[in-house]
Homo-oligomer: A and B are copies of this chain.
Amino acid sequence: MSTETTTLTVELGERSYPIVIGGGLLDSAAEHLRAVGVPDKSPLMIVTDDNVAPLYLEKLESELTNGGYRVVSAVVPAGEATKSLTVYNDLITQAIEAGLDRSSAILALGGGVVGDLAGYVAGTYMRGIRFIQVPTTILAHDSSVGGKVAVNHPLAKNMIGVFHQPELVLYDVDTLSTLPPREVRAGLSEMVKHGLIWDRAFAGWCWDNAPRLLALDPEALIYGLEKGCAIKAQIVSRDERENDLRAILNLGHTLGHAIEAVAGYGRFLHGEAIAVGMAAAALLGEERGGETGLYGETMLMLRALELPVTLPEDMDTEALMSAMQRDKKFREGKMVYIVPTEIGRVEIANDVEADAIRDIIERLKEKEESS
């Protein structure tokens, strides 16, 4: 609670918004909402999941109520399956019944699942109303920047969505104390990703400070989350609608998504799957003429954060390959792959052969035997 508070602005012209990061922020939520102009005449809706609700919902509700807001809450089941059109439809119904109007705001209290879902409700309710993120996971530093909100279709993840920027991100790092350790590590995977694609020094900082980050040291968390958000914000500001540059944020994701799909959602957390994906990309990058040590250093860094860097031997290579074919990152039939050239720098390669990927996948499996 004694930690400082830091604010960074995501620069998107008239859609710019602040990300406030610090300890104890839930206790001043109403003040922060007022600061960004959320009116108190119209009801607010908090969306959260059933893991987070018992921990923080009452606190946020009573803080907002005391601050003069009318609040209704909707608790959805925790887990990726909640990002569905069915749950979405329930939330829309609740929003209508609670009388949310065009001046209302929807608050997402939780991780990326709740953020994506509640954000999609906010983005489509009456063609878009105010949206506020109150992230409670480390991974959500990633989903808090960029304005992508979505639900899943049974045939494809994040298939249904829009761009809808929040008005405010209120990141209370005190909430991270209850996060299960595996979720902590998975979140740190996206944090170090921001270093690996853009900022060698920050990647190095994550490596050096891995023990503090894993121990949830507030100062380290605030610095790391701010830096991670700031890097993503820089990239997004230059390419809000994902035309080119923004693709670099997908480092590790093409293979990562395939791993999640083939392993069955849940066996690998998203952050774990992309850690393996980043290891694979580093190996590919070094082979394509990238900096010497690229693969070795990437592996050490990820391992310092206690993240996986190899594939289980029983994972079906052809299943991974065909999952990647379905990935929406294949634009107009061409394979787009984000490949590191050195720590802190990546290229968007359009010419990666399927066989090269197949080969890398096989070698990531061998690695496990020898480790």
Contact = CB atoms under 8 A, between A and B. Distances in A.
A160 B124 contact: yes
Interface in A107-130: 123-128
B42 A332 contact: yes
A162 B332 contact: no
A41 B330 CA distance: 13
A150 B159 CA distance: 18
A358 interface: no
A96 B155 contact: yes
A101 interface: yes
A371 B67 CA distance: 57
The secondary structure that dominates the A interface is mixed
A153 B85 contact: no
Most B CB within 10 A of own CB, among A102, A103, A154, A160: A160
Nearest to A42: B332
Contacts of A162: 123-124, 127-128, 162
Contacts of A41: 332-333
A333 to B, nearest CB: 7
B160 A103 contact: no
A159 B92 contact: yes
A97 interface: yes
B163 A148 contact: no
B155 A101 contact: no
Interface of A: 39, 41-42, 85, 89, 92-93, 96-97, 101-103, 123-128, 148, 150, 153-156, 159-163, 242, 328, 330-333
16 contacts: A39-B332, A42-B332, A89-B153, A92-B160, A93-B153, A93-B155, A96-B153, A96-B159, A101-B330, A124-B160, A124-B161, A126-B161, A127-B148, A127-B163, A127-B242, A128-B163
